[in-house]
Amino acid sequence: MLRVAGVPDAWWERLPEQARQMSPELARIDAFLDDERFIAPWRSVFAERLGRPSVPVETLLRLLYLKHRYQLGYETLCREVADSLSWRRFCRIPLASPVPHPTTLIKLVRRSGPQTVEQLNAVLLGKLVEDKLVRCRKLRIDTTVIEADIDHPTDADLLEHGVRKLSRLVRRIKASGAAKRTSFRDRSRSAGRRLKEISRTLRRRTGQALGEIDRLTGEIATVARATLREVTAVERNARRTLGKRPSGRLGRLLGELADTMTGTRRLLDQTALRLAGIRTIPDRLVSLADPDARPIRKGKPQHPTQFGYTALVAEDERGFVVDHQLQRGNPPDAPQLVPSVERVTTLTGRPPGTVVADRGFGTAANDRALAELGVQRIGLQRAGKPGKARREYEHSRPFRRMRNWRVGVEARISHLKRTFGLRRTRLRRLAGAQTWTGLGIFAYNLQRMAVVSR
């Protein structure tokens, strides 16, 4: 059941004034969030009258701001809020009431999903435009990688993970009373021993080590195939039990088992291609826990290959992130430019006067499309060797000033990663990564509002 606000606490007025004060940043954000429009996105998440009362939305919004502003875990966040009078008052939690439990916050964030977070960001940007804090006369755009919360993947490691996860799910299915007489052998230790042998072999750093690693990887693949054969029989017999005795828990376990089997078969196909000498595999699976993550190469020497999602970030002249998009894999930059400028134009009611981006966005078609939208100054560098006229234009003083201003978006992306948790998403799958990124952008724009409106 939706609960917008908590019960007012008269005890706050009995405390000394120093104990009731909030920092200037929190005071501005508290007043800014006290708007009914921030409540509207949550009405589709909760029923108006059915179910237990939810955490008050005004409390939830402020808790999520503190979490992403200071990069706190849920347990640490609840502990710090309970221990601080200033943060407790900012979150509007009465002195005699407990702080919401960390697992409650986790469930609420997962339940909200990327659609609710997207609506929150839209409401925030709309209010910033109304208050004339966002004018967007200039716009700079770039893309970056939001890493998934996974280790560096290898074929052997992924297959060993698949064997362990399948064995764990079979144990849970048998414990629930399904397929109890179906034979199954847990081969987790067998796969784990070969994975440790690979680790010892890698320390040799000789030419013979590569052949030994391929042999051990093939053995792990054989173990995974044998596990899949037995798991198929377990799943078939368990589904018969599910038909006779419907069970929500058993149904969820079988659904997770089917997904893991599909992922493990895909890993076996990838491993077979690699052992056959094919190193470039399109749409490669890099994680069973986060199957939407993809390998991404951005040409950075210190990080040649990253695993996660590609994010587009558009920043205005005052430092607000006025548009962002998160996508699977590494789509080309150029087709994303014009839709982003169109979304910003819809937000502010007029096109930005200046648009700048790096070479990945620089095409003649984008120049023409931006000019048709009404953009007056276009600072898109072109890839390859430019012609004489283009070279003279890129060496002109106005273009060089736009190019120098564009570099600042790299610092903004670094700031978002270091301070607001956008270096690595802690929520899995594409929807989770979009939720995590959206909440980080939401917290950043709120903090930027407090700075600009001083």
Residues 331 and 442 in one domain: yes
Q: How many CB atoms lie within 10 A of CB 44?
A: 13
CA-nearest of 168, 184, 169, 218 to 198 is 218
Contacts of residue 213, defined as CB under 8 A and 6 or more positions apart, other chains included, come to: 156, 198, 201, 202
Of 112, 141, 170, the residue that ends a domain is: 112
CA 290 – CA 263 distance, rounded (Å): 11
CA 138 – CA 125 distance, rounded (Å): 16
pTM of the entire structure?
0.91
Contacts of residue 127, defined as CB under 8 A and 6 or more positions apart, other chains included, come to: 32, 35, 37
Residue 74 belongs to some domain of the structure: yes
Q: Which amino acid is at 93?
A: I
CATH code (residue 374)? 3.30.420.10
Residue 119 belongs to some domain of the structure: no
Residues 440 and 309 in one domain: yes
pLDDT at 391: 87
Residue 381 belongs to some domain of the structure: yes
Residue 126 belongs to some domain of the structure: no
pLDDT at 172: 93
Q: Which amino acid is at 306?
A: Q
* Helix (H/G/I), strand (E/B), else coil: 109: helix
Residue 81 belongs to some domain of the structure: yes
Residue 360 belongs to some domain of the structure: yes
Q: pLDDT tens digits for the chain (454 residues)?
A: 677 777 677 767 777 777 778 889 999 999 999 988 999 888 888 776 667 778 888 999 999 999 999 999 999 999 999 998 889 989 998 888 889 999 999 999 998 899 999 999 999 999 999 999 999 999 999 999 999 999 888 899 999 999 999 999 999 999 988 888 899 999 999 999 999 998 888 776 666 677 888 899 999 999 999 999 999 999 999 988 877 666 678 888 999 999 999 999 999 999 999 888 888 888 889 999 999 999 998 878 888 889 999 999 999 999 999 999 999 999 999 999 999 999 999 999 999 999 999 999 999 999 999 999 999 999 998 888 888 888 888 899 999 999 999 999 999 999 999 999 999 999 999 999 999 999 999 999 999 999 998 8
Residues 402 and 441 in one domain: yes
Q: Report the domain count for the chain.
A: 3
pLDDT at 179: 85
Residues 408 and 304 in one domain: yes
pLDDT at 302: 81
pLDDT at 247: 64
pLDDT at 390: 87
Residues 239 and 376 in one domain: no
CA 332 – CA 296 distance, rounded (Å): 12
Residues 95 and 35 in one domain: yes
Q: 314 pairs with which residues across the strands? A: 141, 323
Residues 146 and 224 in one domain: no
Q: Count how many Cα atoms sit within 13 Å of the Cα of residue 252 in the half-sphere of its side chain.
A: 4
H or E element that contains 315: strand 306-316
Residue 286 belongs to some domain of the structure: no
Residues 358 and 213 in one domain: no
Q: What angle do CA 346, 61, 59 make, to 5 degrees?
A: 150
Residues 20 and 33 in one domain: yes
**DSSP percent split of the chain into helix, strand, coil, nearest 5:** 60, 10, 30
For residue 227, the enclosing domain spans 155-275
Residues 201 and 339 in one domain: no
Q: How many CB atoms lie within 10 A of CB 94?
A: 15
CA 73 – CA 67 distance, rounded (Å): 7
Tens-place pLDDT, residues 205-238: 666 677 888 899 999 999 999 999 999 999 999 9
Residues 308 and 186 in one domain: no
Beta strands, E only, 243-303: 294-296
CA 152 – CA 286 distance, rounded (Å): 8
H or E element that contains 327: strand 321-328
What are all long-range contacts of 168-175, with beta carbons under 8 Å and residues at least 24 apart?
Answer: 169/253, 169/256, 169/257, 169/260, 170/231, 170/234, 170/257, 172/253, 173/234, 173/238, 173/250, 173/253, 173/254, 173/257, 174/234
CA-nearest of 307, 343, 348, 336 to 433 is 307
Contacts of residue 267, defined as CB under 8 A and 6 or more positions apart, other chains included, come to: 155, 158, 159, 162, 224, 285, 288
Residue 282 belongs to some domain of the structure: no
Sign of CA dihedral 20, 26, 27, 31: negative
Residues 406 and 298 in one domain: yes
